C-alpha cells in the first residue's frame, strides 16, 4: 500500500484550506523527501490562499514555506544532503542556476525560480519534496520549531535591513512588528543599528520595546511621521516596511531621511501614492527586497545559532490552520504561529 500523509491544501482562492490524505511523494532524480517537523505560518501564505498577487499559484496547492524537517529519502544523483540531515524548505524552492541573476547570487529573481508553498507544494503537510541545492541547512542546536520562522521571516527581515545600507549607529524604522518585524528588531539591534518600531497595535510596540527597540511610534496617530522624524533626528537612514497594509508604504517613504533608503518587503495587493517631489528633492532610494539568497539564509540562521535572535512562537497543530489564518488576517497573531508536527 502507498504510504499516506495529511496535508492542508488551497482548493479555491479565498476559501478555508481543505484537509486531505495524500500519497507521500516519491523523490525523483535530484529531489529529496523531507519529513516535516515544523512549519511557520507567514502572512504570504494568507496572500497565497486569497490569490492576492498577479502571479497566482496553480490550484490545488499546499502552502507553507517555513517547513523544517529531516531528510528521509534521496532521489538518484543527490549528494548535497544526506538522510538524517535537518533542512528547511524555503520560499526560494529552486532556481535555474545559470542565468545572469543566478550567477550574481540574485536567484530569488530568476525567471525560472520556483516558490515553496506556492508554485511547489509546501510545508502544511507531513512530507515535502525539495531541491537539495536550495534547502536551508539548520545549524545543530536549533530546534525545528525555532528555526521555522527564520527561513522566511528571518532571512527576509535580515536581508531587507542589509538592503537599507544603514550603518551601525544609524537609525532604522521597522514598520510592522509581526512575524517579520519582531525578528527584524532583533537583527537590527544585533547589527548595531538604532531601531524605531512602527505598528498600529500598542501590544506589538510594547513587544518591540522588550526586544530592544529604542523608540516606538503608533502608525495610527496623525503625527506618526513627525514623531519618527523627531525620534530619529531627521528621519531614519533606513526604513523597512513589512506591514501588509498600503498606508504603511507612503508613510514609510516620508519617514526616510534625506539620502536614505526605504526598503519595501510587505506585499499587500495594490499600489501606493509616492510623494514624488520629496523623493526626488531628498534623494531617497525606494527599493524592493524579496527573501534573500543562500548566503543570506546561512547568515540569518547563524545569528540564531549564536543566540542573538530568537523567534517568539506559538505552537499549533496543522488542524488549526484555518483558525490561525483568521487571526492572522485580523492582526491577532502576536509574532509567529508555528505548526508543530511532532507526535502528540
Ligand atoms: P504579520 O501579519 O505577522 O505582521 C504584520 C504586522 O504589520 C502586524 O504586526 C500588524 O499589526 C502590522 N501592521 C498592519 N498595518 C500596519 C500599518 N498600517 N502600519 C504599521 N504596521 C502595520 O505578517 P508577516 O508574516 O510579518 O508578513 C508581512 C508582509 O510581508 C506580508 O505582506 C508578506 O506577504 C510579506 N512578506 C514578504 C517577503 C518578501 O520576500 N518580500 C517575505 C515574507 C513576507
Ligand atoms: Zn514568508
Ligand atoms: Zn536563474
CATH code at position 273 = 3.40.50.720
One domain for residues 141 and 199: no
> Which residue among 244, 269, 324, 326 has the greatest number of ligand 1 atoms within 8 angstroms of its CB, and so is best to mutate?
244
One domain for residues 173 and 64: no
pLDDT of residue 343: 80
Q: Indicate which CATH number applies to the domain containing 296.
A: 3.90.180.10
Look at residues 203, 147, 143 and name the one whose alpha carbon lies nearest to residue 178. 203
Model confidence at 1: pLDDT above 90? no
* pLDDT (mean) for 137-156: 98
Contacts of range 217-224, beta carbons closer than 8 Å, 24 or more positions apart: 219/175, 219/243, 219/247, 219/248, 219/251, 224/198, 224/251
* pLDDT (mean) for 166-180: 98
One domain for residues 18 and 98: yes
Look at residues 158, 136, 182, 206 and name the one whose alpha carbon lies nearest to residue 312. 182
One domain for residues 170 and 277: yes
Percentage of the chain beyond pLDDT 70 is 100
Any ligand 1 atom below 6 A from CB of 239: no
One domain for residues 48 and 32: yes
Q: Which ligand is nearest to the CA of 104?
A: 3
- DSSP code at position 218: E
One domain for residues 313 and 209: no
* pLDDT (mean) for 190-213: 98
Q: Which ligand is nearest to the CA of 157?
A: 1
* pLDDT (mean) for 84-88: 98
14: pLDDT confidence band, cut at 50, 70 and 90? very high
CA of 106 to the centre of ligand 3 (A): 8
66: pLDDT confidence band, cut at 50, 70 and 90? very high
CA 108/CA 92 separation, integer angstroms: 6
pLDDT tens digit string along 87-114?
A: 999 999 999 999 999 999 999 999 999 9
State the chain's mean pLDDT as an integer: 98
* pLDDT (mean) for 231-236: 98
One domain for residues 173 and 190: yes
pLDDT tens digit string along 32-51?
A: 999 999 999 999 999 999 99
One domain for residues 74 and 178: no
Any ligand 1 atom below 6 A from CB of 328: yes
pLDDT of residue 250: 96
CA of 177 to the centre of ligand 1 (A): 7
One domain for residues 9 and 61: yes
One domain for residues 165 and 268: yes
pLDDT of residue 329: 97
Any ligand 1 atom below 6 A from CB of 247: yes
pLDDT of residue 195: 99
Give the strand pairing for 285-288 and 336-340: unpaired
* pLDDT (mean) for 161-169: 98
CA of 193 to the centre of ligand 3 (A): 33
One domain for residues 17 and 124: yes
Model confidence at 4: pLDDT above 90? yes
Residues of the domain holding 192: 154-288
Residue pair 75/27 in contact by the 8 Å Cβ criterion: yes
One domain for residues 105 and 201: no
Model confidence at 344: pLDDT above 70? no
* pLDDT (mean) for 207-211: 98
Domain count, the chain: 2
pLDDT of residue 95: 98
Which of 288, 310, 332 represents a domain boundary (last residue)?
288
Residue 60, preceding peptide bond in cis (omega within 30° of 0) = yes
Amino acid at each position: 500500500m502507498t504510504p499516506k500523509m495529511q496535508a492542508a491544501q488551497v482548493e479555491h482562492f479565498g476559501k478555508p484550506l481543505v484537509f486531505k490524505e495524500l500519497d507521500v511523494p516519491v523523490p525523483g532524480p535530484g529531489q529529496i523527501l523531507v519529513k516535516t517537523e515544523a512549519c511557520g505560518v507567514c502572512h504570504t501564505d494568507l496572500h497565497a490562499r486569497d490569490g492576492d498577487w498577479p502571479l497566482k499559484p496553480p490550484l490545488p496547492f499546499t502552502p507553507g514555506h517555513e517547513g523544517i524537517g529531516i531528510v528521509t529519502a534521496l532521489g538518484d544523483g543527490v549528494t548535497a544532503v544526506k538522510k538524517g540531515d535537518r533542512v528547511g524548505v524555503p520560499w526560494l524552492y529552486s532556481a535555474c542556476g545559470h542565468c545572469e541573476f543566478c550567477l550574481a547570487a540574485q536567484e530569488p529573481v530568476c525567471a525560472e525560480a520556483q516558490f515553496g508553498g506556492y508554485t511547489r507544494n509546501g510545508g502544511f503537510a507531513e512530507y515535502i519534496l525539495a531541491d537539495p541545492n536550495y534547502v536551508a541547512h539548520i545549524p545543530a542546536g536549533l530546534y525545528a520549531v525555532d528555526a521555522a520562522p527564520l527561513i522566511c521571516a528571518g532571512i527576509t527581515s535580515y536581508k531587507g535591513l542589509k538592503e537599507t545600507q544603514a550603518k551601525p549607529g544609524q537609525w532604522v524604522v521597522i514598520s510592522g512588528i509581526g512575524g517579520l518585524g519582531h525578528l527584524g528588531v532583533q537583527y537590527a539591534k544585533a547589527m548595531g543599528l538604532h531601531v524605531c518600531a512602527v505598528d498600529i497595535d500598542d501590544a506589538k510596540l510594547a513587544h518591540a520595546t522588550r526586544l530592544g527597540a529604542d523608540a516606538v511610534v503608533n502608525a495610527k496617530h496623525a503625527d506618526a511621521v513627525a514623531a519618527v522624524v523627531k525620534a530619529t533626528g531627521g528621519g531614519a537612514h533606513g526604513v523597512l516596511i513589512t506591514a501588509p497594509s498600503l498606508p504603511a508604504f507612503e508613510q514609510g517613504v516620508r519617514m526616510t531621511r534625506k539620502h536614505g533608503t526605504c526598503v519595501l518587503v510587505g506585499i499587500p495587493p495594490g499600489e501606493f501614492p509616492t510623494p514624488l517631489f520629496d523623493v526626488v528633492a531628498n534623494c531617497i532610494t525606494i527599493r524592493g527586497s524579496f527573501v534573500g539568497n543562500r548566503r543570506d539564509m546561512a547568515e540569518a540562521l547563524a545569528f540564531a545559532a549564536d543566540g542573538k535572535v530568537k523567534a517568539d512562537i506559538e505552537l499549533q497543530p496543522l488542524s488549526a490552520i484555518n483558525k490561525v489564518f483568521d487571526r492572522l488576517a485580523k492582526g491577532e497573531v502576536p509574532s509567529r504561529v508555528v505548526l508543530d508536527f511532532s507526535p502528540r
